[in-house]
Amino acid sequence: MRHLIALGGAALALVAAGAASAADLPARPAPPPRAPAFVAPGYNWSGFYIGINGGGAWAHKCWAFLPAAGLPVSEGCHSPDGGMFGGQVGFNWQTGPVVFGIELTGDWTSLSGSNVSLAFPLDTNRTKVDALASVTGRVGYAWDAMLLYAKGGGAWVNDKYDARLTATGALIDSASETRTGWTVGGGLEYGFMPNWSIAVEYDHYDFGTKALVFQPTGVNERISQRIDTVTARLNWRFGWGGPVVARY
């Protein structure tokens, strides 16, 4: 019995000594704080920009002779087509993924087309479109460096018309005008560098129907006009940076 008591006392002494030794050990150092997650800045579409564009266009022109009395006489339609080249300036403002903007575009065009008059087969009617311009508002949705947008606003076109003898090509009479209308369109733009982007855009222009007096004959013609364009664009953005949209 005395031996058991002695063994128990020795065990308790060892436990107490171990506890005291553990208390004397230094505390385990706390792990170093984790670095915050990296937040990369998203592509920022805000700011002024200037660029160039080029592509193709096709129009639809319908002529009708307006007699002094009576109803208009249709002379048929033709579809002038050709290339275009010009530039654009604008401003974007981005809030979240939504991008608002305004843009001024101007292009030199080389559209031409003709048809033999249905009412007067001895005559051939011809159209040339020399220039195209627009002022539009834009709204788009951005996925980082990719922007899908729509646009719409006012437009102007410069046209030249003439009638020639079908057999010889000799000039009979001519007219020219600058006509106002409207345009709608849209495109897809990609920012391949912080200040550079490329885009593909489609636009539809409608310039309605207008009567013109041809000289020197004084003949009145009523001409309707629509134009569609597809262009590639290159833009350089500068100036005010606006808000930055972060991506994780």
Read off the pLDDT band of 35 (50, 70, 90).
Answer: low
* pLDDT recorded at residue 145: 96
- Residue 27, pLDDT > 70, answer no
**What is the per-residue DSSP string for 24-80?**
HSPPPPPPPPPPPPP-EEPP---EEEEEEEEEEEEEEEEEEE--SSS--EEEEEE--
Q: Reduced to 3 states, what is the DSSP secondary structure of residue 123?
A: strand
Read off the pLDDT band of 31 (50, 70, 90).
Answer: low
238: nearest Cα among 193, 194, 195? 195
Q: How far apart are CA 108 and CA 126, in angstroms?
A: 19
Read off the pLDDT band of 216 (50, 70, 90).
Answer: very high
Indicate if the alpha-carbon torsion angle 123, 124, 125, 126 is positive or negative: negative
Quick one: average pLDDT of 129-145?
A: 97
Stated pTM of the model: 0.81
Give the contacts of 93 (CB within 8 A, at least 6 positions apart).
46, 99, 100, 101, 242
User: pLDDT tens digits, residue range 168-210?
Assistant: 999 999 999 999 999 999 999 999 998 999 999 999 999 999 9
At the topology level, CATH places domain 42-240 in Porin (2.40.160)
User: pLDDT tens digits, residue range 75-92?
Assistant: 999 999 999 999 999 999
Read off the pLDDT band of 41 (50, 70, 90).
Answer: low
Read off the pLDDT band of 30 (50, 70, 90).
Answer: low
Q: Rounded to an integer, what is the distance from CA 84 to the centroid of its chain? A: 16
Q: Where are the domains of the chain?
A: 42-240
